[in-house]
Amino acid sequence: MRDENCIFCKIIAGEIPARTIYEDEDFKVILDANPASRGHALILPKEHAANLYEIRDDLLAKAAMLAKKLAVHMTGVLACDGFNILQNNGEIAGQTVFHFHIHLVPRYKGMKNDDMLNWTHEKFTAEEQDSICQQLQAGAESLS
Ligand code: 5GP
Ligand code: ZN
């Protein structure tokens, strides 16, 4: 269920703070602390699984459906022009946190990260991140 050394398990348990935009029985969705774009969010299953190979099929299916709902919701709130849905497995593939997660990366025309396989980070102040989080929370309850 939980890995004591896992940072995302600690975020899910509320032991490490994170800007949560959506939560239900199975998932917590947070803003990425080092966003590649405005509104970059992560879908975290509450049950610990290291990667795609380990996650339960039913949770994977639910995560995919939640990604779709959130992409629609976030496009409405953020007025982004497109979306990258990314999911890394293993260090060689760029995975740094070994608790399955799906990246939701809103894309904007003219944004600096044209190549999402080689992205750098954009800087937002804590106030800007708080504001983005509040915008995304509004209306997200209805997604469950
Ligand atoms: P990965 O490289 O494993 O696919 O993605 C891990 C993501 O988690 C990175 O984009 C990183 O910025 C984000 N991340 C790592 N630690 C934290 C944290 O403590 N809080 C939040 N909100 N995001 C984190
Ligand atoms: Zn975990």
Summarize pLDDT for 91-100 with one digit per residue, the tens: 999 999 999 9
Q: Identify which has the larger pLDDT, 109 or 90.
A: 90
For the purposes of burial, counting CB atoms within 10 Å of the CB of 47, is it exposed (0-12), middle (13-18) or buried (19 or more)?
middle
Whole-prediction pTM:
0.90
101 has catalytic annotation: yes
Ligand 1 atom 1: the closest Cα is on which residue? 95
Q: Identify which has the larger pLDDT, 119 or 17.
A: 17
Q: Which ligand is nearest to the CA of 1?
A: 2
Kindly state the average pLDDT of the residues 17-31: 98
Q: Is the model's pLDDT at 69 over the cut of 70? A: yes
Question: Which residues make Cβ contacts (< 8 Å) with residue 77, sequence separation at least 6?
Answer: 39, 135, 136, 138, 139
Neighbours of ion ligand 2 (CB under 5 A): 3, 6, 8-9, 48, 99
Say yes or no: CB of residue 102 within 6 Å of ligand 1: no
Contact predicate 77/137, CB 8 Å: no
Say yes or no: CB of residue 138 within 6 Å of ligand 1: no
Q: Is the model's pLDDT at 103 over the cut of 90? A: yes
| Among 8-12, 112-116, 134-138, the least confident range | 112-116
Cα gap 8→1, rounded to integer Å: 12
